[in-house]
Amino acid sequence: MSSTGGAEVLCLDALDFVRGGTPILSGIDLTVRAGEHWALIGANGAGKSTVLSLCGAVEHPTRGTVHVLGHQLGRVDVRELRALIGHVNPRHPLASPLTARDVVLTGATGTVEKVPRWEPDADVLARADYLIEALGLAHIASSSWLTMSQGERGRALIARALLPDPALLLLDEPSTGLDVAAREQFLQTLDDLHRTQPTLATVLVTHHLEELPESTTHAALLRDGHLQTAGPATEVLTTEQITECFAYPIVIERREGRWLARAGARVAA
């Protein structure tokens, strides 16, 4: 597997994960380095979200080891470790009318709601305002979460995740619920982010290749809890590999840096 030569940010080694006696992941080996932008792809039920939960120190492996930012799960205070990881989940369970600015500020406490009696210091406020501006949210900084569009929420969640200046950013199907225009704007946001923060490592989970930003550098394919292949995106995201991953003929094309997928001809049995 090639690398950018950056420092190791994430390493899954001989990882197995069992839930309720059922194997979910088996023999996963994956290394992510600073400045790499990974796509984790597979069919529904392949184990993508479980891998992401291990990367985010939400779950612990049944066997094998997970090192995140130089710390091994099981030998580190996960609450402190999670504070160093940015996590973007479009199903963010906020139900109160926090403003976009307040949502971003919850990234400092790692909570969904505002922490009572907690007040951000000047540095935190300045970074929040910088991210709000950088992600094109200044015009809605005072708008309620409940009235924001899905695209605006997505960008607010990226700003929230970036507030602690993490070295690792995890994105769990971030284009969920976006229309085409909002999706394209969101992907442009990711490309801009990758360009302006060159050491940031990202892992994006999806099962739609059209939802990958141009700046994707690497990809890993999961099938039935096993890692089929991993490496540079141009070597992994091919017709042959994707067809095998989804057990269905799929033709892959790349145009102007973006990937496209369509059904291929089925072979009669």
From the number of C-beta atoms within 10 Å of its C-beta (0-12, 13-18, 19+), residue 81 rates as: middle
- Checking if the pLDDT of 198 tops 50, the result is yes
Q: What is the pLDDT of residues 16-60, one digit of tens each?
A: 999 999 999 999 999 999 999 999 999 999 999 999 999 998 899
Q: What is the CA radius of gyration of the chain?
A: 19
Check residue 2 and give its pLDDT.
40
From the number of C-beta atoms within 10 Å of its C-beta (0-12, 13-18, 19+), residue 240 rates as: exposed
Bridge partners, 232 (sequence order): 218
Check residue 268 and give its pLDDT.
53
Last residue of a domain, one of 116, 144, 165: 165
User: How far apart (Å, rounded) are the C-alpha atoms in residues 109 and 18?
Assistant: 31
| Residue 79 shares a structural domain with residue 185 | yes
| Residue 244 shares a structural domain with residue 173 | yes
Structure tokens at 258: 């973006």
Q: Do the domain assignments include residue 24?
A: yes
Number of other CB atoms surrounding residue 112 within 10 Å: 13
| Residue 171 shares a structural domain with residue 51 | yes
Q: What is the pLDDT of residues 94-134, one digit of tens each?
A: 889 999 999 999 998 888 888 888 899 999 999 999 999 98
User: How far apart (Å, rounded) are the C-alpha atoms in residues 89 and 108?
Assistant: 16
User: What CATH code is carried by the domain that includes residue 59?
Assistant: 3.40.50.300
Structure tokens at 115: 């922490």
The domain tally of the chain equals 2
Show the domain range for 127. Answer: 94-165
| Residue 80 shares a structural domain with residue 1 | yes
What is the band of 267 on the pLDDT scale with cuts at 50, 70, 90? low
Q: Do the domain assignments include residue 1?
A: yes
Check residue 6 and give its pLDDT.
82
Mean pLDDT of the chain: 91
Q: What is the pLDDT of residues 230-248, one digit of tens each?
A: 999 999 999 999 999 999 9
- Checking if the pLDDT of 3 tops 60, the result is no
Check residue 251 and give its pLDDT.
96
Q: What is the pLDDT of residues 133-184, one digit of tens each?
A: 988 899 999 999 999 998 899 889 999 999 988 989 999 988 888 888 888 9
Check residue 151 and give its pLDDT.
87
Q: What is the pLDDT of residues 58-73, one digit of tens each?
A: 899 999 999 999 999 9
| Residue 263 shares a structural domain with residue 181 | yes
Q: Do the domain assignments include residue 254?
A: yes
Last residue of a domain, one of 149, 165, 181: 165
| Residue 109 shares a structural domain with residue 240 | no
| Residue 184 shares a structural domain with residue 105 | no
Check residue 37 and give its pLDDT.
97
| Residue 204 shares a structural domain with residue 222 | yes
Last residue of a domain, one of 121, 138, 165: 165
- What percent of the chain clears pLDDT 70, i.e. is strictly above it? 97
Q: What is the DSSP string of 221-258?
A: EEETTEEEEEEEHHHHSSHHHHHHHHTS-EEEEEETTE
Q: Do the domain assignments include residue 89?
A: no
| Residue 155 shares a structural domain with residue 40 | no
